């Protein structure tokens, strides 16, 4: 069967123009869109079509303009940057041997529609390559009778639609009803107004209920609500809309599809064009044969994934060839197969493990399958929960997990994962307690390359193996039309899942070798990060109890006060406006009320942030009202409204996720929900903490390090003054004030202590005189004097900071007391602002990072101790310098005596590590 590919050139040119950064070649000519189109074309040609056409719009009026004079009236002219790329694009397309079709008075869509229909009628297999969803109306599956087919591919997203089923999956209606759908939706780009507020979902729903556009029109009088009114208002123009969105399949063309033969490419012309525009990869392919062959061999006949993202990088130099060889994957569906694999994995002594599920939330996800790899290139996928029409028989959960349990629970068999904490959760919740979780490629990468790299598997595979992984999207789609993993075909699932285990194993080979060569980093990885995985998994599983009634009460109170503030704001402004909109606020305050715009956002706009509003609060009443409103709105939207939604229905508790590779300094981060930024500084905010409670008979206990980062600064700098202050147990900010302002401790004023505190914190963040002046509301010269005075009293600190900057410049990284490194990409940047930023990060990272190391070590020690008392106490939360526990009331004394000891012992510094504790029925009281 002959194959025809029709490329929607205009669509790709625009999309590439918007999607890619504004690249230029050496001569300064814009090349971004061109680059995108060229990559797309190269990928398309790898499909080896018999016929190809690159179709573009031609100038001139079309039949649609006659039907509807406002058609496309709102379109801005083509940007110059893009216009400049049109001719080069045509040159390249031509040199590739592809015909360019441009028909006067006919839009590209209609040319494509006509050619596609003619070709399919003649029995060809037609692919339309476009980003425009409207073409879905042309999709037609092979009739199995010698008739042709029309499929749609979008090489930018990798999606493919080749049957009514696929169209229905994406749009909720079959190909034949797409025009009805589009008529209802309208198209703002083409200036075709549809039914207001009617998107694809509503349109599909109506068509589903009433059969067709005619059905919907007939049913219009009975459709309720605002949207029903909108529909009735639009009734008259719906037939015209449909005509406008219908792609013509019968325009007269001079030549048929059989004339569009793909010709031999002009290598010399291409070489010149690629060189001129700096397309080095394309150039290499031209000279060296076929770069893409490897991908094609690995995934024969695969039509998708030919977008920009899949350019296959060469394997890094020096990579063990075994780690670059293609993989062979097996789908395990019988007991015999599974037993054979278990024997293989056990014999190997270590293996990579990965789970597939139906959710990203590890506390809700249901297991769909497991994959394993014991040697590079050999991996298996064990499907358990694939459920779709025609799904092959699979092993039962219980049977399979019973067979696997001894292996997974055996601490002597080492398991390797990528972000294994997730898999540990899932398996635990399915009755399997994994032991021997020994290596994690996410954490290996995090420890090795913190600061200058991403650590997700796709990035790691490309960086360390030169390998482009199968993306989840390729298998399951994305957006609203994404299907759960349990509904994807077993061979697709195996290709994806087994690859995950395979790649994890290969990555571990590469990364563990690198760690081996760095004993300090190896120690951070082996003694801190890996043991912490199970600790975090337990903390997350514990969750924290939330008093929903308390949140509801607070939410209602906040709403009432927000309304009051809003009414007062409206009265003051003399008109209504959206208090949540910084843009509208700007217009009101700075244009209408002519208040001075004293603060600018990073983009140079007038800012309405707290500082800006405070600055004009004495000139007008409104700014204060807005500040009041903002404070209330933040609490309600972020906390009282959202937290109840996050309660897990199975456990009745809130389970945050801690990200072990979340912050480059080594700190954890928390999300879904973020429990590390619950308010504490204002009374209203603090009240939120009353909703984090202990169940009856239990208490919450909070233990926090006192001034840990400043103590680390004392340790790192070995400054005698600072060391002495901490040794004496003095209030550190008061002691600093006494030193800087030259008076006895007892004579330090409140303001002096405040200034000293600002200096102490500011220095740790690399703050300069400018920042200190702003913070304290003093002039810059005075701030400079304070800083100079500080450094003269604490010269060790000054020397330490200079040493740190120097080390960062020389080595490109800084390190913590425990040897954790943070790489600083911009430390020697030409751009002064970038460089200054990197220097501040360099100053801060050893302190923040050492504190993170210490509390992580403490968590491991506390977890080990608490394991013996698991019924009586649980660790619930970590907030950078604080650990929160829930304990039986009778156990609290023991906890309060033991935990601070363990926390203090987690670091061996030149100053004491002091831990404060609090006990209460809720988190607020426990402080």
Partner DNA sequence: GCACGCCCGTAC
Partner DNA sequence: GACGTACGGGCGTGCG
Using CB under 7 A, which residues numbered 693 to 732 contact DNA? none
Chain positions 1 to 20 lying near DNA, rule: CB under 7 A, are 11, 14-15, 18
Indicate the residue among 118 and 717 with the shorter CB distance to DNA: 717
Query: Tokens for 535?
Result: 């600790």
Binding test (CB under 7 A) with DNA, winner from 228, 679, 812, 918:
679
Enumerate residues 465-484 that contact DNA by CB under 7 A: 478-480
Residue of 749, 773, 748, 744 lying closest to 759 (CA atoms) = 773
**Which pair of tokens denotes residue 208?**
């589903």
* Least distance in angstroms from the C-beta of 334 to DNA: 39
- C-alpha span between 904 and 899 (Å, rounded): 9
Options 48, 61, 83, 201; binder of DNA; rule CB under 7 A: 201
Please identify which residue in 609, 718, 749, 828 interacts with DNA, judged by CB under 7 A: 609
SS (H, E, C) 609-653: CHHHHHHCCCCCCHHHHHHHHHHHHHHHHHHHCHHHHCECCCCCE
Given the complex with DNA, which of 689 and 874 has the nearer CB atom?
689
Residues 243-302 close enough to bind DNA by CB under 7 A: none
CB of 758 to DNA, least distance (A): 7
Binding mask 408-447 for DNA (x = CB under 7 A): ----------------------------------------
Nearer to DNA, 30 or 766 (CB): 766
Under rule CB under 7 A, residue 581 binds DNA? yes
* Three-state secondary structure string covering 742-779: CCCHHHCCHHHHHHHHHHHHHHHCCCCHHHHHHHHCCC
8 A C-beta contact, residue 887 and residue 701: yes
Of 166-174, 374-382, 396-404, 601-609, the window that binds DNA (rule: CB under 7 A) is 601-609
Based on the shown chain and the rule CB under 7 A, indicate whether residue 673 belongs to the binding site for DNA. yes
Structure tokens at 806: 């120097």
For DNA, give the closer residue by CB, 384 or 845.
Answer: 845
Token reading at 926: 């426990």
In the complex, the smallest distance separating the C-beta of residue 840 from DNA, rounded to whole angstroms, is 4
For position 662 contacting DNA by CB under 7 A, the verdict is yes
**Is residue 774 within the footprint of DNA (CB under 7 A)?**
yes
Q: Contact with DNA (CB under 7 A): which of 314, 619, 680, 745?
A: 680
Q: Which is nearer to DNA, 12 or 726 (CB)?
A: 12
678 binds DNA (CB under 7 A): yes
User: Residue 157: which of 345, 363, 304 has the closest Cα?
Assistant: 304
Angle between helices 420-429 and 530-542 (to 10 degrees): 50
Phi, psi (deg, nearest 5) at residue 372:
-140, 150
Between residues 383 and 666, which has the closer beta carbon with respect to DNA? 666
Closest approach of DNA to the CB of residue 853, in Å: 14
Which stretch in 31-39, 280-288, 355-363, 576-584 sits in contact with DNA by CB under 7 A?
A: 576-584
> In this chain, which of 114, 607, 660, 736 binds DNA, going by CB under 7 A?
607
Q: Which of 255, 452, 576, 682 binds DNA (CB under 7 A)?
A: 682
Burial 681-709 (b: 16+ CB within 10 A, else e): eeebeebbbbbbbbeeebbbbbbbbebbb
813: nearest Cα among 856, 850, 846, 853: 846
Binding track over 20-59 against DNA, x by CB under 7 A: ----------------------------------------
By CB under 7 A, what part of segment 808-847 binds DNA?
Answer: 833, 836-837, 840-841, 844-845
Choice from 48, 61, 70, 75 touching DNA (CB under 7 A)? 75
The number of residues that bind DNA (CB under 7 A) is: 89
Site for DNA in 483-522 (CB under 7 A): none
| Nearest one of 99, 158, 145, 151 to 125, comparing CA atoms | 151
Instruction: Indicate the length of the chain as a whole number.
Output: 927
List CB contacts of 76: < 8 A, sequence separation 6 or more: none
Residues 77-136 binding DNA (CB under 7 A) are 131-132
Of 412, 372, 371, 414, the closest CA to residue 512 belongs to 414
Return the number of the residue (416 or 688) whose C-beta is nearest DNA.
688
504 with 415: CB under 8 angstroms?
no
Nearer residue to DNA within complex by CB, 48 or 481: 481
Q: What is the smallest separation between the CB atom of 11 and DNA, expressed in angstroms?
A: 5
Q: Given the rule CB under 7 A, which of 30-38, 113-121, 745-753, 757-765 is the region that contacts DNA?
A: 757-765
Nearest approach in angstroms of CB 719 to DNA is 20
- Nearest distance from residue 262's CB to DNA, in Å? 25
In this structure, are residues 909 and 712 in contact, taking their beta carbons and an 8 Å threshold? yes
For DNA, the binding residue among 142, 316, 377, 582 (CB under 7 A) is 582
List the beta strands (DSSP E) in 466-569: 544-546
Shortest CA distance to 650 belongs to which of 362, 398, 433?
362
Among 202, 269, 542, 559, binds DNA (CB under 7 A): 202
Listed ranges 85-93, 365-373, 523-531, 610-618: which one lies at the site for DNA (CB under 7 A): 610-618
Own/partner pairs, 262-270, CB within 8 angstroms, 24+ separation: 262/45, 262/49, 262/50, 262/51, 262/52, 262/97, 262/98, 263/97, 263/98, 264/97, 265/95, 265/96, 265/97, 266/94, 266/95, 266/97, 269/91, 269/94, 269/95, 270/92, 270/95, 270/96
Nearest CA to 365 out of 341, 390, 384, 338 is that of 384
Q: Whole-angstrom Cα distance, residue 574 to residue 557?
A: 26
Among 663, 723, 759, 911, binds DNA (CB under 7 A): 663
Give the one residue of 605, 784, 807, 904 binding DNA; rule: CB under 7 A: 605
- Contact between 684 and 627 (Cβ < 8 Å): no
775 interacts with DNA by CB under 7 A? yes
Q: Does 200 bind DNA (CB under 7 A)?
A: yes
Q: Does 672 bind DNA (CB under 7 A)?
A: yes
Choice between 280 and 576, CB closer to DNA: 576
Integer-rounded Cα Rg, in Å, for the chain is 32
Reading the block at residue 785, the tokens are 């004097």
Residue 127's H or E segment, with its range, is strand 125-129
856-885 residues near DNA, rule: CB under 7 A = 879-882
Which residue lies nearer to DNA by CB, 77 or 389? Answer: 77
User: Tell me, what DSSP letter sits at residue 292?
Assistant: T
- The residue within the footprint of DNA, chosen from 63, 472, 741, 761 (CB under 7 A), is 761
Least separation, in Å, of the C-beta of 95 and DNA?
A: 25
- Best CA proximity match to 440, nearest among 463, 462, 414, 458: 414
> In the complex with DNA, which residue's Cβ is closer, 132 or 439?
132
Of these, 149, 608, 640, 760, which contacts DNA (CB under 7 A)?
A: 608
Among 601, 751, 792, 897, binds DNA (CB under 7 A): 601
């Amino acid at each position: 069967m002959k194959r025809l590919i029709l490329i929607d050139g205009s669509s790709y040119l625009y999309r590439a123009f918007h999607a890619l950064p504004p690249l230029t070649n050496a001569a300064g000519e814009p090349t971004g869109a061109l680059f995108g189109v060229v990559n797309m074309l190269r990928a398309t040609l790898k499909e080896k079509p018999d016929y190809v056409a690159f179709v573009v719009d031609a100038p001139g009026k079309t039949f649609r303009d006659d039907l509807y004079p406002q058609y496309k009236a709102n379109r801005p002219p083509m940007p110059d940057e893009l216009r400049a790329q049109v001719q080069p694009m045509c040159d390249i397309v031509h040199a590739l041997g592809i015909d360019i079709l441009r028909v006067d008075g006919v839009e590209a869509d209609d040319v494509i529609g006509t050619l596609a229909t003619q070709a399919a009628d003649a029995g060809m297999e037609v692919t339309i390559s476009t980003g425009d969803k409207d073409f879905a109306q042309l999709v037609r599956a092979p009739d199995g009778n010698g008739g042709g087919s029309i499929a749609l591919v979008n090489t930018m997203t990798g999606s493919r639609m080749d049957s009514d089923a696929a169209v229905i999956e994406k749009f909720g209606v079959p190909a034949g009803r797409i025009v009805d759908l589009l008529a209802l939706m309208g198209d703002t780009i083409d200036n075709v107004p549809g039914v207001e507020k009617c998107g694809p979902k509503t349109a599909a729903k109506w068509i589903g209920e009433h059969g067709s556009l005619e059905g919907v029109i007939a049913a219009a009088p009975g459709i309720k609500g605002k949207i029903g009114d909108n529909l009735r208002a639009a009734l008259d123009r719906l037939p015209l809309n449909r005509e406008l969105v219908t792609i013509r399949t019968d325009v007269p063309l001079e030549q048929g599809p059989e004339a569009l033969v793909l010709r031999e490419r002009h290598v010399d012309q291409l070489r010149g064009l690629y060189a001129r525009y700096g397309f080095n990869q394309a150039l290499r392919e031209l000279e060296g044969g076929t770069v893409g062959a490897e991908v094609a061999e690995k995934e024969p006949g695969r039509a998708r994934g030919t977008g920009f993202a899949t350019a296959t990088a060469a394997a890094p130099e020096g990579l063990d060839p075994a780690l670059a060889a293609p993989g062979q994957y097996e789908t395990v569906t019988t007991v015999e197969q599974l037993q054979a694999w278990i024997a293989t994995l056990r014999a190997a002594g270590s293996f990579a493990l990965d789970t597939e599920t139906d959710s990203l939330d590890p506390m809700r996800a249901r297991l769909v399958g497991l994959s394993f790899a014991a040697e590079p290139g050999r991996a298996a996928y064990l499907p358990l929960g694939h459920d779709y029409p025609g799904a092959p028989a699979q092993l039962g959960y219980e049977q399979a997990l019973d067979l696997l349990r001894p292996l997974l629970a055996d601490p002597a068999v080492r398991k390797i994962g990528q972000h294994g904490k997730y898999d540990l959760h899932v398996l635990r919740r399915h009755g399997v307690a994994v032991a021997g979780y020994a290596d994690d490629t996410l954490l290996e990468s995090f420890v090795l390359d913190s600061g200058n790299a991403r650590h997700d598997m796709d990035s790691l595979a490309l960086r360390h193996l030169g390998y482009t992984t199968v993306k989840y999207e390729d298998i399951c789609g994305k957006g609203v039309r994404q299907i759960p993993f349990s509904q994807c075909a077993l061979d697709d699932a195996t290709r994806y899942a087994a690859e995950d285990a395979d790649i994890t194993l290969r990555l571990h080979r590469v990364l563990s070798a690198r760690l081996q060569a760095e004993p300090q980093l190896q120690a951070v990885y082996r003694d801190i990060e890996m043991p912490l995985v199970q600790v975090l998994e337990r903390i997350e599983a514990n969750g924290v109890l939330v008093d929903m009634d308390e949140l509801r009460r607070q939410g209602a109170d906040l709403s009432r006060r927000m309304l009051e503030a809003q009414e007062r704001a409206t009265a003051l402004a003399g008109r209504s406006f959206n208090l949540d909109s910084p843009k509208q606020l700007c217009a009101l305050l700075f244009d209408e009320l002519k208040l001075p715009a004293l603060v600018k956002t990073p983009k140079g706009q007038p800012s309405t942030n707290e500082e800006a509003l405070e600055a004009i609060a004495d000139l007008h009443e409104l700014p204060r009202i807005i500040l009041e409103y903002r404070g209330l709105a933040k609490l309600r939207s972020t906390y009282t409204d959202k937290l109840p939604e996050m309660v897990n229905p199975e456990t009745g508790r809130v389970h945050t996720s801690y990200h072990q590779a979340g912050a480059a300094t080594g700190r954890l981060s928390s999300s879904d929900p973020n429990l590390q930024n619950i308010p504490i500084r204002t009374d209203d905010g603090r009240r939120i903490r009353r909703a984090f409670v202990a169940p009856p008979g239990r208490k919450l206990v909070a233990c926090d390090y006192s001034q840990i980062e400043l103590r680390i600064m004392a340790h790192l700098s070995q400054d005698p003054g600072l060391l002495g202050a901490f040794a004496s147990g003095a209030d550190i900010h008061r002691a600093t004030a006494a030193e800087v302002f030259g008076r006895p401790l007892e004579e330090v004023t409140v303001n002096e202590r405040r200034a000293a505190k600002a200096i102490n914190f500011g220095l740790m963040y690399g703050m300069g005189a400018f920042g200190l002046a702003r913070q304290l509301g003093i002039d810059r010269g005075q701030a400079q004097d304070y800083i100079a005075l500080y450094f003269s009293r604490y010269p060790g600190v000054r020397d330490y900071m200079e040493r740190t900057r120097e080390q960062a410049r020389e080595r490109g990284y800084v390190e913590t007391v425990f040897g954790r490194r943070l790489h600083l990409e911009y430390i020697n940047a030409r751009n002064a602002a970038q460089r200054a930023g990197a220097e501040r990060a360099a100053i801060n990272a050893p302190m923040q990072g050492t504190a993170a190391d210490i509390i992580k070590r403490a968590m491991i020690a506390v977890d080990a101790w608490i394991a013996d008392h698991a019924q009586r106490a649980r660790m619930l939360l970590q907030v950078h310098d604080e650990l929160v526990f829930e304990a039986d009331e009778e156990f609290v004394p023991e906890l309060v005596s033991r935990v601070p000891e363990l926390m203090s012992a987690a670091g061996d510094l030149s100053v004491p590590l002091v831990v404060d504790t609090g006990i209460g029925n809720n988190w607020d009281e426990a402080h």
